Amino acid sequence: MHTVRQENTTFVQSKFKQNPRARSTDPNRKASAKPPASKAVAAQAAAALRELAASGVLTGRAEKVSARIDRGLLQAAARKIGSTNTTEVVQAALAAFVAPDPFVEWLLSDKDRLPADFELAI
């Protein structure tokens, strides 16, 4: 089994702190300004990164990626996650996409299903 390095834990814990030297998703926004974050979304992204780190998906090594993303989409994601750092925004989106969704697993399982002979008394 793949063991997770200590640096991954630090990476996950500090992932959503504002980096003052990071490039902003909005060129008109001051580097120190932080968009309002949804605490639930930030917590979901952090939990996804923790889960991926624990399962060995995160390697601790970064890959440089170049992509063209619609400015409005990137800005909306940045507002929702609460970071102007493009890397953090894209990484949070990928983590949320890759991490397993417990609701989907529950929905597709046989757990908590009514018996076949169940009838609703009306």
In which domain, by residue range, is 91 found? 6-103
Whether 40 maps to a domain, the answer reads: yes
Cβ 45 vs Cβ 95: under 8 Å: yes
* Phi, psi (degrees; rounded to nearest 5) at 93: -65, -45
Give the sign of the dihedral formed by CA 96, CA 99, CA 103, CA 108.
positive
The whole-model pTM stands at: 0.56
Of residues 31 and 77, the one with the higher pLDDT is 77
* Phi, psi (degrees; rounded to nearest 5) at 82: 85, 35
Whether 92 maps to a domain, the answer reads: yes
Q: Please write the tens of the pLDDT for every residue from 22-73.
A: 555 555 555 445 555 678 888 888 889 999 999 999 898 989 999 999 999 9
Whether 114 maps to a domain, the answer reads: no
**Residue 8 CB coordination number (10 Å):** 20
| Three-state secondary-structure class, residue 67 | coil
Domain count, the chain: 1
Report the range of poorest mean pLDDT among 7-16, 40-49, 79-88.
7-16
